[in-house]
Amino acid sequence: MNKLSLPSNKHKLLLHSCCAPCSGDIMKRLIDSNICFTVYFYNPNIHPYEEYMLRKEENMAFANNNGIPFIDADYNPRKWFELTKNMEWEPERGKRCSTCFDMRFVKTAEYAYKNNFDVISSTLGISRWKDMSQINRSGEYAASKYPELIYWTFNWRKENGSLNMIETSKDEQFYMQEYCGCVYSLRDTNIWRRKNNRPKIIIGEKYYSHSNKKSTNNKKPYQAEPSKK
């Protein structure tokens, strides 16, 4: 696989990450390419809190195991709900998603600027369910707020990126989320499932595995403390 290099002679990357499956193989490629980077986890869109913790802890553990700095940013879903008000029935890839990307990338860009990163990017684009150009537009908009900061529009799906993402997820037995993240995507995925005679999503149930059977790994799904329920 070809080594990667940062664009425009930039030298320090802040990588916004949405989850371990999307970021796992990207992180491996960056490490193999000797690129200096830090993972930034800011995803207040994820609902419910149990799902948020599952995704975050999986991502954090993988970063720690690989010696990559991991920034655990705020979980402020109230702000996310305020920004996406009246967009509850927007389809995926629509206006609500642009707002969701903008919110996450603006905060990523702000952290990058304040902490001497000169390039940002996001793992969101590796998913084939996402519109790359929509993501890139949000990323470039966020970076343009700060001098000298750029958004790296690299297409992570290139060179079998999508396939390798699944293989890495299986190797690592990552938690397998089954919807994009917000409460509306959970609702819409369950509506689709009901129409197609599929069971409802159960949070914390599925993990990637090389076997076709349900994963038998020993990972314990995150349990919210009683006070948080």
Residues making contact with ligand SF4 (CB under 6 A): 45, 92, 96-97, 100, 180-182, 184-185
As measured in angstroms, the least distance from the Cβ of 87 to ligand SF4 is: 8
Residue among 88 and 205 whose Cβ is closer to ligand SF4: 88
Residue among 39 and 186 whose Cβ is closer to ligand SF4: 186
Determine contact, residues 80/181, Cβ cutoff 8 Å. Answer: no
Q: What DSSP line would sit under 13-60, residue for residue? A: EEEE-S-HHHHHHHHHHHHHTT--EEEEE--TT--SHHHHHHHHHHHH
Rounded Cα gap, residues 179 and 161, in angstroms:
20
Residue among 71 and 97 whose Cβ is closer to ligand SF4: 97
As measured in angstroms, the least distance from the Cβ of 38 to ligand SF4 is: 23
Distances (CA, A) of 202 to 2, 191, 198: 39, 14, 12
As measured in angstroms, the least distance from the Cβ of 186 to ligand SF4 is: 9
Question: Cis peptide before 147, with omega less than 30 degrees from 0?
Answer: no
As measured in angstroms, the least distance from the Cβ of 165 to ligand SF4 is: 17
Residue among 99 and 164 whose Cβ is closer to ligand SF4: 99
